């Protein structure tokens, strides 16, 4: 029965391709080149698979992803034009939060609704002073790293050490975002309470399919934050937005839901980024020493360049869009229902853009504009992450604290593996920390 079903699925898919081809001809266009290959499976076994296909077929080619007809776009300039020219026909693929709060997660919003909520968020971020959170954040980071360094390690139990390091980074990133976004200072009762509920919301990373567990945890978070906003003025982004938009500690339901889920998705993404940062720190002690020994402002600049190079090499990967209507782009017919993948990781490996693109060279970002046509780690269109600058600053804060107080070594991590949402160091990646003795 399985073989018969598989054959039937292949025949049905070929029929769909034939119909797409006829519709393309009616528009004097062609389907993108390429065989109907399982691109997601190819990529899992070879991270450079899409780069290799682009060398054969060009910067626009087809295949399947998760069993759906898919088109890949490689090149930031080309992708930005596609996303701009067909904005209304492309919907970001993101989490369905309809069981949690009215409206959508901001990543999936479109039109005037997206402009409205993005404007609120942007105003709130522009007036949020990250500097006033730094002392308590540094203390929190240092405390977690010291606890990790002081715990005994056993080379024979590398996977246990790897899990412990991931858990340490999860505590750090969650505490950072809870303070910046939700206003709870690390170590406070509110911060500890929120951390506990977030562990219930997504104990193993972001839950893509919202179930009863997520509904219960979300309602708990919502009620705690509503009560906190009612009791007294609140710091952080949530307090800034409440005072700017509603006053008297109130905040609109869709905006509150987006702030809660900004922390939920961000703490997982940043934990992955921090794992990569710690791997590159262990492999590049000269750069860590430069960060540790430089004056504060210069140290921050070097750390931010280091973080951006990590983003270029490993954490910035793809944008996913669903095509809502037939479009023709560069002579290519892209039918309604297509899964569109903008290949960010591959674009950042273009030799015409970056010399030695697979080499770790943070100096690329020391003396030039960070974001632009050739480097867009947080998006290319109106859905460009508004938290991008804060993300780099928080990651740099972690890195400077790591560099100034500890020596780091690492084992494992290669080859990288495709996790649920991102490429990650392999599961056996573990670190050892030792405190640096102050002169």
Give the tens place of pLDDT for each residue, 398-415. Answer: 999 999 999 999 999 999
- Among 228-232, 249-253, 408-412, 429-433, the minimum mean pLDDT is found in 249-253
Give the tens place of pLDDT for each residue, 318-331. Answer: 999 999 999 999 99
Q: Residue 416, by phi and psi: left (phi above 0), alpha (psi -120 to 50) or beta?
A: beta
Question: In the prediction, which pLDDT does 11 show?
Answer: 73
Question: In the prediction, which pLDDT does 5 show?
Answer: 47
pTM as predicted? 0.94
Give the tens place of pLDDT for each residue, 254-272. Answer: 999 999 999 999 999 999 9
Give the tens place of pLDDT for each residue, 329-364. Answer: 999 999 999 999 999 999 999 888 899 999 999 999
**203 band by pLDDT with thresholds 50, 70 and 90:** confident
Q: Which residue has the higher pLDDT, 398 or 17?
A: 398
First to last CA, the chain: 72
**207 band by pLDDT with thresholds 50, 70 and 90:** confident
Tell me the backbone φ, ψ of residue 265, rounded to 5 degrees: -75, -35
Q: Give the residue-averaged pLDDT of 206-221.
A: 93
């Amino acid at each position: 029965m399985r073989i018969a079903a598989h054959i039937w699925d292949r025949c049905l898919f070929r029929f769909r391709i034939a119909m797409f081809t006829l519709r393309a001809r009616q528009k004097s266009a062609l389907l993108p080149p390429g065989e109907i290959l399982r691109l997601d499976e190819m990529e899992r076994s070879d991270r450079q698979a899409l780069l290799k296909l682009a060398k054969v077929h060009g910067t626009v080619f087809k295949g399947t992803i998760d069993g759906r007809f898919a088109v890949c776009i490689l090149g930031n300039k080309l992708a930005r034009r596609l996303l701009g020219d067909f904005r209304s026909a492309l919907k970001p693929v993101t989490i369905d939060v309809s069981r949690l709060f009215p409206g959508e997660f901001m990543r999936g919003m479109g039109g005037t609704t997206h402009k409205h909520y993005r404007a609120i968020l942007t105003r709130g971020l522009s007036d949020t002073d990250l500097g006033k959170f730094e002392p308590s954040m540094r203390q929190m980071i240092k405390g977690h790293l010291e606890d990790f360094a002081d715990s005994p390690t056993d080379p024979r139990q590398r996977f246990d050490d790897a899990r412990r390091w991931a858990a340490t980074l999860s505590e750090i990133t969650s505490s950072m975002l809870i303070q910046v976004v939700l206003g709870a200072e690390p170590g406070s009762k509110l911060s500890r309470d929120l951390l506990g509920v977030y562990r219930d919301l997504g104990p193993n990373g972001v839950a893509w399919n919202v179930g009863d567990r997520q509904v219960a945890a979300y309602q708990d978070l919502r009620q705690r934050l509503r009560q906190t906003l009612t009791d007294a003025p609140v710091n952080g982004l949530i307090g800034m937005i409440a005072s700017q938009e509603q006053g008297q500690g109130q905040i609109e339901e869709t905006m509150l839901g987006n702030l809660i889920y900004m922390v939920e998705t961000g703490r997982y993404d940043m934990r992955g980024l921090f794992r990569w940062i710690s791997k590159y720190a262990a492999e590049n002690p000269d750069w860590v020493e430069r960060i540790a020994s430089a004056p504060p402002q210069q140290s921050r600049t070097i750390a931010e360049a280091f973080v951006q190079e990590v983003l270029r090499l490993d954490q910035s990967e793809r944008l996913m869009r669903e095509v809502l209507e037939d479009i023709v782009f560069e002579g290519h017919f892209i039918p309604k229902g297509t899964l569109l993948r903008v290949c960010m990781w591959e674009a950042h490996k273009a030799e015409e853009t970056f010399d030695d693109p697979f080499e770790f060279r943070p100096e690329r970002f020391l003396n030039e504009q960070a974001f632009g046509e050739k480097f867009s780690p947080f998006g290319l269109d109106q859905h460009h992450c508004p938290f991008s600058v804060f993300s780099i600053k928080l990651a740099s804060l972690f890195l400077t604290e790591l560099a100034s107080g500890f020596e780091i070594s690492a084992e494992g991590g290669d080859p990288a593996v495709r996790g649920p949402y991102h490429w990650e160091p392999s599961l056996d990646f573990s670190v050892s920390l030792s405190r640096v003795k102050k002169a």
